[in-house]
Amino acid sequence: MARLLFFDSHTHLNDEQFADDIAAVWERARNGGVTRALVLGFSLETSLRAVELAGRLEGLYAAVGIHPHSAEAADAAAMRRIDDLAAEPRVVAIGETGLDFSRGTERQVVQEAAFGAHLDLAVARDLPVIVHVRDAFDATLAVLQDYPGRGVIHCYTGDAAQLAGFLRLDLYISFAGVITYPSGSQAGEALKIMPGDRLLIETDSPHLAPQSRRGKRNEPVNLVETATRAAELRGIDLDDLAATTDRNAARLFGLDADQ
């Protein structure tokens, strides 16, 4: 039987939690079947780190951007630096960007401005955008209505009705360890009705470890647990889930398929 190969579509291996053992973390992942991963920038500094890691460790790719929690930092000078980084050969996406109103809507205007700047850059560079959405589904849909490019809604936690809105925009949808939680049934129900050609999986490491590792640092190797649950929810074999999500990620990011 062929070895299953997984693509972790959203990681933060550039987070300081991995500063001391990144090589060992990635070796564990590859030994466990997670052979490729996208490392997301969430600030200018971490975007630089994502590019560095992607250039050094086989199977890693980078996305560059500034997280909505730091939207004030996405000024013109910073976005010029992000644009410069986007020209690097291992950069395959822009982000993570988006809207997050979990701390209130007082910063909505500045978040939407930063989000728009990232979308403009994604179009200019012909790269997909990685979208963070938290407590802001309607506002995010409104911003994306006229976006002509491609992208992914990462760590989907919405319901089936909200899912339909994003699917109408031809976006990919990525599911994380939330689907393994007792409280993750809403995302699980959305996963069941996902079109197979738009489905991705992720760890969002070091965050959102799957249920068996909950409360501990998450790593890309744990993607297999999330994938196993995703296959169960969809009623398919794990090898089919692995092949589908690897193929989808490769298509979205302009890479060759491993499968």
Listed in sequence order, the residues at least 6 apart from 115 whose beta carbon sits closer than 8 Å to its beta carbon are: 68, 71, 97, 98, 99, 143
Strands, E, within the chain: which ranges?
A: 6-11, 34-40, 60-64, 91-100, 129-134, 151-153, 172-175, 199-201
Q: How far is CA 7 from the centre of its chain?
A: 11
Residue 56's pLDDT band, with cuts at 50, 70 and 90, is: very high
The total number of structural domains that make up the chain: 1
Residue 200 lies in a domain: yes
Note the pLDDT of residue 2.
Answer: 57
Residue 259 lies in a domain: no
For residue range 118-170, list pLDDT tens digits in order: 999 999 999 999 999 999 999 999 999 999 999 999 999 999 889 999 999 98
Note the pLDDT of residue 259.
Answer: 44
Residue 258 lies in a domain: no
Note the pLDDT of residue 155.
Answer: 97
CA distance 231 to 82: 36
Residue 28 lies in a domain: yes
For residue range 22-52, list pLDDT tens digits in order: 999 999 999 999 999 999 999 999 999 999 9
Strands, E, within 50-191: which ranges?
A: 60-64, 91-100, 129-134, 151-153, 172-175
Residue 75 lies in a domain: yes
Residue 1 lies in a domain: no
For residue range 205-243, list pLDDT tens digits in order: 999 999 999 999 999 999 999 999 999 999 999 999 999
CATH of the domain at 213: 3.20.20.140
Strands 172-175 and 151-153 come out as parallel
Residue 203 lies in a domain: yes
3-state secondary structure of 26: helix
Give the domain extent around 247.
Answer: 6-253
Residue 241 lies in a domain: yes
**53 sits in which H/E element:** helix 44-56
